[in-house]
Amino acid sequence: MAPTAQKNKSHKARFASKGQRHKHKVAKETVATGASAVHRSGKSSNVNRAQRLQQAKNARDHRRADALLEKRTGGGSGGAPKLIVLVSLSGSVNVSAIKKALIQGATERVAGAPPKQDDAMEGVQSEGAEMGVEGAIKGVGGQMTVSLHKHKARISVVEAPGDILGCLEAAKVADIVAFVTPAEGAHIDEQGRELLTVLRALGLPATTGFIQGLDSVPLKRRGEAKKAAVAALQGQLGVDLKVHAADTPEDFTQLLRHLSELRLSPPVWRNQRPYVVVEKLAFRPSDVPSDGPDTSGGTLLVSGYLRARSLRPGQLVHVAGLGDCQLAQIDGPEDPCPVGQHRNKAGGAMDVENGGGEARVLGVAGPGDLEPFITENDPDPTAGEQTWPTEEELASAEQERQQRMAAKKHKRKVAKGTSEYQAAWIVDESEGEEDDDDADVADKGEDAAMAEAGPSDGGSDAEDDVSEDEAGRGTTSGRTSETWLGEEDDDMSEDEGLTARQREEERRRLKEAAQGDEEFPDEVDTPMDVPARQRFAKYRGLKSFRTSPWDPKESLPREYARIFAFDNFRRTQKVVLAQQVKTDRESLIVPGMYVRLHLLIRPEQRIPAEELVRRAESGAAGLVTAIGLLQHETKMSVVHYSIRKSDAYTEPVKSKSELLFYTGLRSFKTRPLFSTDDMQMDKHKFERFLHPGRFSVATVFAPIAFPPLPLLVFKEGVNGPELVATGAQREVDPDRVILKKIVLSGYPYRVHKRKAVVRFMFFNPEDVRWFKPLELWTKYGRRGRIKEPVGTHGSMKCVFEGVVQQRDAVCATLYKRVYPRWPETEAL
């Protein structure tokens, strides 16, 4: 180095950054406080004895809460068995072989122990012997439960059904979802991708991946094949996914260790309610009267491990595929699959389900402890108040009566045989006479246009009948009284009873209607043979959609008398969840216990209950779940869901079309209303179609449920249910106002600066006078009003706040409130 070269001082910190040095400095300056600091320093501090006791109590509470959470989620030796659901992502894998190998690998370690026979598991050993596995407990839906004594844990392995709904029923209660893929070929086929989409929308718990057939791949290509399979799984489920081979006994030994140590992460919505994955079902009928038909119910005995939260007698329970039941009693049979080697000291098997043994009674609901099963409100039609009219109202009514009598005395020349009702609709010729030159020109032009069109253009041709929701611009030939006078103009024709050609025509028509709704939203044509004041009698105008008031209690349909509403839904939810926390703290029936529930079956549920038991005994039933409901969760109300259309579904979805809603808690068929998702307004615009690429709100009549809850929307297709949309529950609010918007349009026929003669918006002068208070607007941003009718064919003079162009279009907006349909079937 040259003597004149600059030599900079080296940095003393070397590898430490300034942020790390600052943290170290702050830590040194911080004075240690607390009981531990007092013991270390031997000096007194500001922490007194009461504070130290409170700190110790908080530490105990945290440890107790952590232990309870671990037990709820299935972790630890005291929790319920970890439910592992095997999901096939390709048709070339054998999931049954993996299930059998897992159970065999778990039972080989305790092969010398005598097999366990449970009081609630009748015929279990024969079921396990059929599978070639001894010491495993088989339950409803093909689940096999076994104890891992080495790892001090228990697992239940079940194979997910091939259909989407069956797979959802298994995945919604799974603690671990294991996705199985082949080592070669297509790792994820079309059905596997669809399952992944559905399960991600439902909410996945802890996941892992299995690779099958890796040992059959040549050694040179084995590493490359494994990398390809891992990349395929991690590309769909995240890079943190652990993937293991599943071929040799050594592989399954590692898999069992991995599954027993895997930390569980159940979805939040599932931990709000207690639930039991049913392992044994039995039905006990009630006493049948000797002198009459059998209209009694019975008791459904449900055995399984309690999970997530505590359950109390008297609580309402929802059984998937059956409905809601009252919980009368909870028993505590002997655990069929304990973690340790403890066996029944009596040495023999007990048949408690059929009365052969005794089980502890953990709780019995008294007559006043059973929550009442209430779904609908029972309104009293005679309970409304009747107020006597005031003197002013009586005088006004008398004056209106005299005016009507005077109008009847007005004689007009009508055709012979015309009734008074028909004569009331005949317009006098004097009413259409105007002295204005512009009106004369407009009338002549309009008369000529009507003459050219001819009477046949306004006729009722069946093939041109379209509803106002599907009428695009230029379809004026479809204005018939038969179409426009219908009370339910939002309905769509169902596919039932249609041929393949008719169904294809209906699908094409809906696609055209959806495209027209995208291009010209809310625009409809005024019917020519029905007065607009009759056709749009239920509609009204609004000065501002955002600020104009709309009373949510006005003119409600009769269905609203059958539902329940909350003064404050969020506050009620906090109170209900606090009650469940209190039950968890005080109840002796905790998660992880093996329980038997006595569910009271109503007479109308007896046949479905007996059928469910028969299917469970024959092995045809999938997993059955009994979920404890929170307070109010059987009552009907107006429930709103935030949904988004699936990118894979390309068919149009019309409002009020029949769809299947799957919420994780229930599944039910309904006809939802779609509306916009406007957070800052008290009114929301009705949407005729569910459009892709944006969120909408689906409104239905449904049982009350407290969020969070996922939502999957299906529509029945040729090959089974197809996923239409996904979303989540939003709120329960009957006062949410959904307004259907229609836009009536006309065209300027004669323009002079700020004035214009507009035609084709209405077709008689009485309609013009009726809708005169409406505010007009143009597509180029002008605002105006109706001045007066011109002629006898519905033309009208309009005045605007600026110059109107000849190429502009004049519009008027009308609104009416729409309501969802009452469900036809019960939520199961």
Tell me if 667 sits within 8 A of 651, measured CB to CB.
no
**More confident site: 459 or 175:** 175
8 vs 202: which has the higher pLDDT = 202
Over residues 83-120, the pLDDT tens digits come to 999 999 998 999 999 999 999 888 765 444 443 434 33
For 137, list phi and psi in degrees, rounded to 5.
Answer: -105, 125
Q: Average the pLDDT over 623-647 and give the result.
A: 95
Taking 3-state DSSP, the helix, strand and coil percentages for the chain, each rounded to the nearest 5, stand at 30, 25, 45
Q: If you average pLDDT over residues 339-355, what whole number do you get? A: 46
SS (H, E, C) 69-118: HHHHCCCCCCCCCEEEEEEECCCCCCHHHHHHHHHHHHHHHHCCCCCCCC
Token pair, residue 487, equals: 């009370």
Domain extents for the chain?
A: 72-268, 275-343+356-376+574-628, 636-736
Is the pLDDT at 526 greater than 60, yes or no? yes
Q: Which three-class secondary structure state does DSSP give residue 497?
A: coil
CATH architecture observed for domain 72-268: 3-Layer(aba) Sandwich (3.40)
Interatomic CA distance for residues 389 and 70, integer angstroms: 67
pLDDT of the residue at 125: 38
Going by pLDDT thresholds of 50, 70 and 90, the confidence category of residue 624 is very high
Query: What pLDDT does 6 receive?
Result: 84
- pLDDT of 563 strictly over 90: yes
Domain covering 636-736: architecture: Beta Barrel (2.40)
How high is the pLDDT of residue 139? 86
User: Are 596 and 302 a contacting pair, CB within 8 Å?
Assistant: yes
Average pLDDT of 536-547?
91
Rounded to whole angstroms, the Cα distance separating 536 from 524 reads: 11
Strand arrangement of the beta sheet that strand 82-88 belongs to: 137-138, 144-148, 153-159, 82-88, 176-182, 206-212, 243-245
Chain segment 787-797, per-residue pLDDT in tens? 999 989 899 99
**Is 196 in contact with 188 (CB distance < 8 Å)?**
yes
Q: CA–CA separation, 756 vs 790, rounded Å?
A: 11
Q: Which amino acid is at 124?
A: V
Taking residue 586's Cβ as centre, other Cβ atoms within 10 Å add up to 9
**Do residues 780 and 738 make contact, with C-beta atoms less than 8 angstroms apart?**
no
Q: What is the mean pLDDT of the chain?
A: 80
pLDDT in tens, 283-337: 998 865 555 445 568 999 999 999 989 999 999 999 998 999 999 999 999 988 8
65, containing H or E segment: helix 49-72
Enter the tokens of residue 718.
């040729």
Q: Which two tokens stand for residue 717?
A: 């297709």
Alpha helices in 619-670 (DSSP H): none
In this prediction, residue 455 carries a pLDDT of 36
pLDDT of 445 over the 70 cut: no
Task: Answer yes or no: is pLDDT of 515 > 50.
Answer: yes
- Is the backbone peptide bond immediately before 708 cis, with ω within 30 degrees of 0? yes
Collect all residues with Cβ–Cβ distance below 8 Å to 333 and sequence separation of at least 6.
118, 119, 120, 303, 352, 359, 360, 594, 595, 596
The string of pLDDT tens digits covering residues 19-61 is: 776 766 666 555 444 444 444 444 445 678 889 999 999 999 8
Tens digit of pLDDT for each residue in 472-511?
433 333 333 333 333 444 444 455 566 777 777 877 888 7
Q: What does the pLDDT look like over 119-147, one tens digit per residue?
A: 333 433 334 434 445 567 888 888 899 98
Q: How many CB atoms lie within 10 A of CB 420?
A: 8
The model's pTM is 0.75
CA atoms within 13 A on the CB side of 328: 11
Our CA dihedral for 12, 17, 18, 22, rounded to 10 degrees, sits at -100
Q: Say if CB 475 and CB 466 are below 8 A apart.
A: yes
What distance in Å separates the CA atoms of residue 458 and residue 631, rounded to the nearest whole number? 57
Res 403: pLDDT: 76
